[in-house]
Amino acid sequence: MNQILIIDDDQQLGLSFAKILSQEGYKTANAFTGSEGIESVKRNRPNVVILDIRLPDMGGLEVFEVIHEVFPKLPVIIITAYSSTETAIGAIQRGAFDYIYKPFDVPEMLLVVEKAVVAGRCMSSPVDVNPDGEIFSGREALVGSGSSMLEVYKAIGRVSPTDATVLIRGESGTGKELVSRAIYNHSNRADKPFVVVNCVAIPETLLESELFGYEKGTFTGAMHRRVGKIEQARGGTVFLDEIGDMPLSIQSKFLRLLQENSIERLGGKDPIDVDVRVVAATNRDLEAAVADGTFREDLYYRLRVVTLTIPPLRERKEDIDVLVEYLLARLSSEMSLNNPGITAEALNKTKQYDWPGNIRELSNVIKKALIFNRGAPLQPEDITLNQERSVPNGDVDQAVAGDIQLWVRGVLHSEKQEKLFDSCLDHVAALLVREALVITHGNRSNAAKILGISRPTLHAKIDKYKLDT
């Protein structure tokens, strides 16, 4: 169970914090002075620390530095009053995880804690490279000993110690995130932050400020300066997931980071130098995105210099044996179940299938089999596959069609679902508008009438779906 240590001299606040967190299933501990807090960190090794910047016995920043020195991978969330925002930002620049304002917004606070727990886990549990699978060591591992995966391991070994930007390509569920963490763990920056930003999970309007931060007064609601994820990763590594989905408007700022190692906060006047290593991943066809103008060509060339491509599972079926063995061991251990093993027939069945959702899908199938298992080795009928193609590709964008397939199989990353839902609605809306324009011979007033929408709305849709031909 994840343990959160709260260091705050305000007893009432510290305890109510602890209560909220324990209701969410965390184990909590409280300390009311800085020195008590430092002691508790050393003794109890919490997963995350929440630290008030104002403490009676020593400065919060000082407490942070002591903790950070001893446990550089322990995420520390700073609690600050609006008046000490600058101090909190100073702490972030020295490696604190994030900061939250007093008085708290509970959902926001919980979200930051959750992110800190995940970040802490990523940073402190290295990904082993263990081609032969064998027994689950308690740590996540990249397994698979076929020649294509051996190439991937070699590439990880070669690129990790450099500061080179790395682009990881591969279909959904092939292990891009795992590979990015292995690169981080084996890099010279393994003691520094590893910050993950998922370009599809964050709405376009927020992504820019999430990445680059903003200055006070830049937009309504920007009451205080905010540092972005890139600054939070100073000295460390930023993992930009789904970079193929990064909106064009942000791509140029991002390119500048890669070329000049500097960023500008929104509304900021001066560039800020930042030393971060970028690892990016995508399952998109970037070449097609460049061709249709949704991905900048210069950024594409800059990113692809060091590319690591993870082949889909159907092209490396030789890895299935060790993967199944490893997943059985790992998942049964994680769910505290006995590992029943698998029969040769069932194993054979896993090799007859193409795994469109790759290792994530394989892992889900095994998980399900374990949950329903009564102790006997897994039989072919315990391996439930979704073989029917459920969506005709028709007109739908290939990538969207692929994601729909994954979704209905329960193997689409939850973060992608909302976005995909919108894409599907867009797709249907585009068909409707196109049809209405066809039967009205392009007469927009009539088309708008048929659809029961206003002309400006119709114009917006025509622009959005590029139907103006």
Ligand X SMILES: Nc1ncnc2c1ncn2[C@@H]1O[C@H](COP(=O)(O)OP(=O)(O)OP(=O)(O)O)[C@@H](O)[C@H]1O
Spatial separation of the C-alpha atoms in residues 361 and 93, rounded to whole Å:
39
Residue, CB closest to Mg ion: 177
DSSP per-residue string spanning 132-194: T--S--SS-EE---SHHHHHHHHHHHHHTTS---EEEE-STTSSHHHHHHHHHHTSTTTTS-E
The 398-427 contact track toward ligand X, x by CB under 6 A, reads ---------------x--------------
Min dist. Cβ of residue 149 to ligand X (A): 6
Sign of the CA dihedral with 153 first, then 197, 122, and 363 last: negative
Per CB under 5 A, the segment of 75-83, 170-178, 250-258, 335-343 that binds Mg ion is 170-178
Which of 173, 193, 236, 244 binds ligand X (CB under 6 A)? It is 173
Per CB under 5 A, the segment of 173-181, 210-218, 285-293, 381-389 that binds Mg ion is 173-181
Q: Three-state DSSP class for 100?
A: strand
Q: Which is nearer to Mg ion, 89 or 119 (CB)?
A: 119
Q: Which is nearer to ligand X, 123 or 272 (CB)?
A: 123
Question: Using the rule CB under 6 A, is 47 a contact of ligand X?
Answer: no
Per CB under 6 A, the segment of 72-80, 168-176, 290-298, 371-379 that binds ligand X is 168-176
Number of residues that bind ligand X (CB under 6 A): 19
Distances (CA, A) of 307 to 40, 108, 168, 319, 348: 44, 36, 6, 22, 33
DSSP state of 130: -
286, interface contact from Mg ion, ligand X, none, CB < 5-8 Å by kind: none
| Amino acid residing at 207 | L
324 and 377 Cβ atoms separated by less than 8 Å? no
178, interface contact from Mg ion, ligand X, none, CB < 5-8 Å by kind: ligand X
Residue 176 burial class via C-beta count within 10 angstroms: exposed 0-12, middle 13-18, buried 19 and up: buried
Question: Using the rule CB under 5 A, is 177 a contact of Mg ion?
Answer: yes
Which of 46, 75, 146, 175 binds ligand X (CB under 6 A)? It is 175
Backbone angles phi, psi at 64, to 5 degrees: -55, -45
Distances (CA, A) of 252 to 246, 271, 300: 10, 14, 11
Q: Which is nearer to ligand X, 55 or 322 (CB)?
A: 322
Question: Using the rule CB under 6 A, is 178 a contact of ligand X?
Answer: yes
Which of 85, 160, 165, 174 binds ligand X (CB under 6 A)? It is 174
Question: Using the rule CB under 6 A, is 360 a contact of ligand X?
Answer: yes
Question: Using the rule CB under 6 A, is 283 a contact of ligand X?
Answer: yes
DSSP per-residue string spanning 29-79: EEESSHHHHHHHHHHH--SEEEEES--SSS-HHHHHHHHHHH-TTS-EEEE
The 337-356 contact track toward ligand X, x by CB under 6 A, reads --------------------
Question: Using the rule CB under 5 A, is 171 a contact of Mg ion?
Answer: no
Per CB under 5 A, the segment of 169-177, 220-228, 395-403, 419-427 that binds Mg ion is 169-177
Q: How many residues does the chain have?
A: 469
Number of residues that bind Mg ion (CB under 5 A): 1
DSSP per-residue string spanning 373-403: --SSPBPGGGS----S--S--TTS-HHHHHH
Which of 30, 160, 363, 364 binds ligand X (CB under 6 A)? It is 363
Distances (CA, A) of 423 to 207, 403, 417: 18, 10, 10
- What is the binding site for ligand X (CB under 6 A)? 140, 142-144, 170, 172-178, 283, 323, 326, 359-360, 363, 413
